[in-house]
Amino acid sequence: MTQLALREFHVFDAAGGRFLYLVPSAGIFQIDEPSSAIVDLLDRGPCAPEKIVHDLSEQYPEDRLRNGLLELQQIRAIGEAGAPQEQVVNDLPPDGFPITTMVLNVTNKCNLACTYCYEYGEDKIVDTTCSDQPKFMADDTAQEGVELLLKESGPLEVAHLTFFGGETLLNFPVLQDTVAYGRQRAEELGKKIEFSLTTNATLLRPDIIEWLAENEIGVTVSIDGPKEMQDRMRVFHSGKGSYETVQPKIKELLKRHKTRPIGARVTLTRENLDIHRIYEHLTDEMGFWEVGFAPVTTASGRDYEIENEGYERMLRQFDELAHDWLEHAVQNKHHGFSNVKDTLEEIHKGVSKAYPCGAGLGLMGVSTGGDVALCHRFAASDDHNFGTTEDGIDRDRQRQFLEDHHVKHKTDCHTCWARPICAGGCYHEAHTRFGETTAPNLHFCNWVRTWTHTCLEVYGELSARNPDYLTRFDH
């Protein structure tokens, strides 16, 4: 007789109901009480359908139990015992997959010396001080980057170009020329380029701010919080903290630049984990539209590395902020905690990733000398090179990369319910921690699963209390 068993899903409760997050389809399904009882019963082991109905018939009408069994089989939450586990989609993206985003590292110089910096700090991949890469990207190289993006974005009407560094604004003349060139070339081709940049804000001046606003450049400011937090790691080469320098400039930027929402990006370290205080300072006191937090990328053993207790503290505060975000969203109000918004968008879109991020897929980084790399963090690394702005993208090399990095090879992730969202995590983190981009970031699993669970709960609550809000994630 057929025995039924549970298949792969993650259960979460929200808004007084029970939901299943189905792996690997990444669908979300709310179940009623009889279905919930079936799931609980099968959690104890495989069972024949007739026995399930019989065992639960005192609690629920038979027709509801049979409906529940049918529905759970249709959504593949349960199935024949012993059937092979479904794995992630095995397909590689089609040949010539469009590049949506190009990140130009317009300089590898920086006027700050942040202790944890992945470019200059202890865990750097490329020693830019002795490489043959120029310190500043030339106009020609940036324009080749624009041409490459326009060509490789294929049928897409909108492509994205991001300026990165070092400190991006050290090469302001090239930014100006590239934006003007890119706009003109895109128009000639009937396309559009959206520009953005990341800066440490030390070099913002009134004319630069004016230019950013007029040209609708998206701006992300790297900042760690109020003075005592910012000055701990984000220091000038002299060791002097940068808060006093950046604070008035950021205020001016936020006052004048209203054409794009401006975000802050915070690096969390062992000593910098008062997330509520940082969030409050950057939004209420400084006026950023949104704030994204990322734990520092570091090899094991650095004294700023976040350890277990730190992760717990971080998760607790993320959870609290996520629930604050929820209460705002229920009332259609803005809340600037971007981590929750980004994950909710992926959940809503039913994203089931074969790769953790766009690096090497729809996103590429370009070094100051014009080498095309996996992403901005690998720019100028010969081992992670995909061609040049002049010769174009080496699609064979890209294909090999995608073959080698598909989540199907990350066997540790095959039984993990969070893999549709995580897919093994950032390649740069893996490279820094384990020396290879193919490794899954197993030191992060607990954090990833707990955070994804929180976001699922928030998603379930919001879908019950203000479902219209979720439609803004449809685009």
Contact call for residue 354 and ligand SF4 (CB under 6 A):
no
Task: Please state the closest distance from residue 220 (CB atom) to ligand SF4, in A.
Answer: 13
Check residue 448 for interaction with ligand SF4 (CB under 6 A): yes
Residue 162: phi and psi, rounded to 5, are -115, 135
Between 311 and 427, whose beta carbon lies closer to ligand SF4?
427
The yes or no reply on residue 449 touching ligand SF4 (CB under 6 A) is: yes
User: In the stretch 20-59, what mask flags binding to ligand SF4 with x, by CB under 6 A?
Assistant: ----------------------------------------
- Nearest-10 crossing angle of helices 49-56, 33-43: 120
Considering the complex, state which of residue 231 and residue 346 has its C-beta at the smaller distance from ligand SF4: 346
Q: Are 36 and 60 in contact (CB under 8 A)?
A: no
Query: CB of 315 within 8 A of CB of 451?
Result: yes
Phi, psi for residue 21 in degrees, rounded to 5: -100, 110
| Total of residues contacting ligand SF4 (CB under 6 A) | 24
For the CA atoms of 200, 206, 210, 216, the dihedral, rounded to the nearest 10 degrees, stands at: 10
Taking the complex as a whole, the smallest distance from the CB of residue 198 to ligand SF4 amounts, in Å, to: 12
Among positions 441, 450, 454, 463, the unique one binding ligand SF4 when judged by CB under 6 A: 441
- The DSSP call for residue 274 is -
CB-based contact 6:17 (threshold 8 Å): no
Which parts of 104-143 interact with ligand SF4 (CB under 6 A)? none
406/410 with CB nearer ligand SF4? 410
Q: Smaller CB distance to ligand SF4: residue 35 or 441?
A: 441
Beta strands in 242-332 (DSSP E): 263-268, 290-295
In whole angstroms, the minimum distance from the beta carbon of 442 to ligand SF4 comes to 6
Cβ–Cβ contacts within 10 Å for residue 469, how many? Answer: 19
Residue tagged 């990444």 (tokens) = 26
Going by their DSSP bridges, the two strands 363-366 and 371-373 should be labelled as antiparallel
Query: Does the protein bind ligand SF4 through residue 377 (CB under 6 A)?
Result: yes
Residue with smaller CB distance to ligand SF4, 69 or 416: 416
What gap in Å lies between CA 466 and CA 245, rounded to an integer? 42
C-alpha separations of 343 from 30, 217, 279, 424, 452 in Å:
19, 24, 18, 15, 8
Q: How many Å apart are CA 334 and CA 65, to the nearest integer?
A: 42
Nearer Cβ to ligand SF4, position 41 or 445?
445
Please report whether residue 375 would count as binding ligand SF4 according to CB under 6 A. Answer: yes
Residue 351 sits at φ, ψ, to 5 deg, of: -60, 130
User: Does the protein bind ligand SF4 through residue 382 (CB under 6 A)?
Assistant: no
Count of beta carbons in the 10 Å neighbourhood of residue 138: 16
Q: Taking a C-beta distance cutoff of 8 angstroms, is the pair 416, 449 a contact?
A: yes
- The distance of closest approach from Cβ of residue 103 to ligand SF4 in the complex, given in angstroms and rounded to an integer, is 8
Report, in Å, the least distance between residue 105 CB and ligand SF4.
12
Instruction: Say whether the peptide bond before residue 155 is cis (omega within 30 degrees of 0).
Output: no
- Minimum CB separation of residue 107 from ligand SF4 in Å reads 18
Between 208 and 363, name the residue whose CB sits nearer to ligand SF4: 363
Question: Which of 170/407 has CB closer to ligand SF4?
Answer: 407
Contacts of 217 (CB under 8 A, 6+ apart): 179, 195, 196, 197, 211, 260
- Per-residue binding string, ligand SF4, 283-312, x by CB under 6 A, is ------------------------------
Q: Which of 168, 145, 58, 65 is nearest to 99 (CA)?
A: 145
Among 156, 299, 330, 442, the residue binding ligand SF4 under the rule CB under 6 A is: 442
Task: Render the burial of 43-76: b for 16+ CB within 10 Å, e for the rest.
Answer: eeeebebeebbeebeeebeeebbeebbebbeebb
Considering only 154-162, 184-192, 435-443, 453-461, which stretch makes contact with ligand SF4 by CB under 6 A? Answer: 435-443
Name which of residues 404 to 433 contact ligand SF4 (CB under 6 A): 410, 412-413, 416, 418-419, 422-428
Q: Is 445 in the site for ligand SF4 (CB under 6 A)?
A: yes
Nearer to ligand SF4, 243 or 304 (CB): 304
CB of 85 to ligand SF4, least distance (A): 15
Which window, 167-175, 230-238, 305-313, 439-447, contacts ligand SF4 (CB under 6 A)?
439-447
440 makes contact with ligand SF4 (CB under 6 A): yes
CA 166 to CA 370: how far, in whole Å? 15
Task: Give the Cα separation of 72 and 58 in Å (integer).
Answer: 20
225/440 with CB nearer ligand SF4: 440
Interface residues with ligand SF4 (CB under 6 A)?
A: 357, 359, 363, 375, 377, 410, 412-413, 416, 418-419, 422-428, 440-442, 445, 448-449
